[in-house]
Amino acid sequence: MQSPSRVAHIAIIACFSLLFITKGVNTIVSKNGLSNYSFPDKFMFGVATAAFQIEGAWNEDGKGESMWDTYLHKHPNFTVDHTNGDLAADSYHKYKQDIIMIKSLGVKYYRMSMSWPRILPNGTDHYINKAGVRHYRKVLLELIEAKITPVVTLYHWDLPTALMDLGGWTNPKMVDYFEDYARVVFSLFGDIVKIWTSINELHVHCYNGYDLNNFVPAMKSHGVGFYLCSHYMLLGHARVYHLYDKEFRPKQKGKIGVTLDAFYAEPKDSNNKEDVDAAERYLQMHLGLYAHPIYSKEGDYPALVRERIDTMSKIQGYPRSRLPVFTPEEVEMIRGTSDFFGLNHYTTILASPSSMEPGWSVPSLDHDTGVKSDQDPKWPIPGADWLAVYPPGLRKLVNWITRNYGTRVPIIVTENGVSDFGGLNDYVRVSYYNKYLYQLLLAMHEDGCRVDGYFAWTLMDDFEWSDGYSIKFGLFHVDFNSTEKKRTPKLSALNYREIMRTRRINFNYIKIPSYKYKNL
Ligand code: GBH
């Protein structure tokens, strides 16, 4: 038996080392609340938006209709609050104010998207809308004047209706149309814009639009249209990369990449091999499907994905795989077509295997994946039901990407943020940004991941697709009831500005009342 004093001694040592260990993996803060690690000077900090979600002015100055305009006018109840993007935050008219806001945050980069039908009202390049071109030129010049570098997304889901009428992204011809549109945009704005992203979140556009049907075009083509859409988007992205690389880069000297999205997947029970496999399968089917063709050494769809969908298609009696096949030339054409890994990340799921769940269609991506996804009851869900807060998920995802695709290209977090139901005292958002950014610092400083930038989603409250205006993601509040769409900074805007100023996270900068938010 050990003497009581010896037991106490051991307990004290254990306690200290525990303190030390937890300090190592959790937040290390100095007395003044500052994070131990900092963001390098050349780290790109920014805020992100998307044209359809903020611009409004849906039919002004010769703009054509996008599929979101047309569909929401036809189906006004499609969004939860029966709203649409006709007016949104009216950024088409208020862009100068937006740029003052961006500047006030102290960020040096602004990720925005261009509306394809504002530039090409009919989708095709036989007619260019001069007023639309003039508008984006004004916005870009205003940004430059404010010393903010624009990062422009060519396509953030607002497809011209004329092209949707031809089948949208399931039509192989879309690859040509996208290239034509990109050529117009590069020639008109490439003197100013030096960082491009081709497409925002191929997965979400195809999954929500073809499998789940809660996003336009709501095509009800689950398990078939989903893969066609993904396939032609990959080809479209690659064509646009090469177009830039060959015809524009030599003169314009910019960079071009793509933005992919992923939830992180954690095994429901990390001691259970089946759950571990399920988590990996989830990541491969959701992110690997797009990332492998572009970023892996060998290119093409991941073997696991290829085999799984081929097998399922066969069992289901399809004459050929529902996942289209790239020719060897196409594999080569897509491989290596991104100067950075644009990553949108919001949340994490717990994965376990399942062959069928309520709500799944057959066939579908979910059914093909065979993974039941749960949320940990300990994770707060402050707004949208899909967005549970689990900060270490970002660090783990960035590590997963680094393990799978190496460090040839840097990761740029092109979106990250959290939703709530409104209010200026958005402690939830302050806490979210502090903790997610700290996990990013750990990935960079302790795990050796190559991360070059971070964009907060989003500058201000906006039109959140099928959630309408019911949930809020903004650093700035927008009063959608006022005609002037008045903007007001939230606490999170002040906190973000402080991070920009110090290049560190100051966990004490905004005190979060502990009684208010459990688990934050
Ligand atoms: C991003 O997508 C978008 O790029 C951006 O436009 C958007 O405003 C932002 O997120 C915030 O939502 O029906 O179960 O799929 C993030 C991916 C797409 C995830 C929609 C949640 C709805 C839940 N999101 N999806 S589900």
Answer whether residue 7 shows pLDDT above 60: no
**Interatomic CA distance for residues 3 and 8, integer angstroms:** 9
**Interatomic CA distance for residues 260 and 41, integer angstroms:** 25
pLDDT tens for 55-84 read: 999 999 999 999 999 999 999 999 999 999
Q: Is 457 in the pocket of ligand 1 (CB under 6 A)?
A: yes
Residue 29: the pLDDT is: 75
Q: Is 454 in the pocket of ligand 1 (CB under 6 A)?
A: no
Left (φ > 0), alpha (ψ -120 to 50) or beta: where does 82 sit? left
Q: Is 473 in the pocket of ligand 1 (CB under 6 A)?
A: yes
Q: Where are the domains of the chain?
A: 43-517
pLDDT tens for 208-262 read: 999 999 999 999 999 999 999 999 999 999 999 999 999 999 999 999 999 999 9
Residue 19's pLDDT band, with cuts at 50, 70 and 90, is very low
Instruction: Give the Å distance between the CA of 215 and the centre of ligand 1.
Output: 10
State mean pLDDT over 191-197: 98
> Which is the catalytic residue, given 201, 330, 415, 464?
415
Closest ligand 1 atom to residue 208 Cα is: 15
Residue 127's pLDDT band, with cuts at 50, 70 and 90, is very high
Say what the pTM is: 0.94
Residue 516: the pLDDT is: 65
- One CATH from 3.40.50.1000, 3.40.640.10, 3.20.20.80, 2.60.40.10 for 43-517: 3.20.20.80
pLDDT tens for 331-376 read: 999 999 999 999 999 999 999 999 999 999 999 999 999 999 999 9
Q: Of 437, 472, 443, 442, which Cα lies nearest the Cα of 455?
A: 437
Do 111 and 414 meet the contact criterion of CB atoms below 8 Å apart?
A: yes
Q: Is 204 in the pocket of ligand 1 (CB under 6 A)?
A: yes
Do 495 and 442 meet the contact criterion of CB atoms below 8 Å apart?
A: no
Instruction: Give the Å distance between the CA of 198 and the centre of ligand 1.
Output: 18
| Residue to probe by mutation, ligand 1, list 346, 369, 473, 475, most atoms within 8 Å of CB | 346
Report the DSSP pairing between strands 476-478 and 487-489: antiparallel
Residue 415 is a catalytic residue? yes
Instruction: Give the Å distance between the CA of 3 and the centre of ligand 1.
Output: 59
Q: Of 412, 456, 500, 432, which Cα lies nearest the Cα of 47?
A: 456
With a CB cutoff of 8 Å and minimum separation 6, the contacts of 115 are 51, 52, 55, 63, 66, 132, 158
Q: Is 201 in the pocket of ligand 1 (CB under 6 A)?
A: yes
Q: Is 214 in the pocket of ligand 1 (CB under 6 A)?
A: yes
pLDDT tens for 377-405 read: 999 999 999 999 999 999 999 999 999 99
| Closest C-alpha to ligand 1, atom 11 | 464
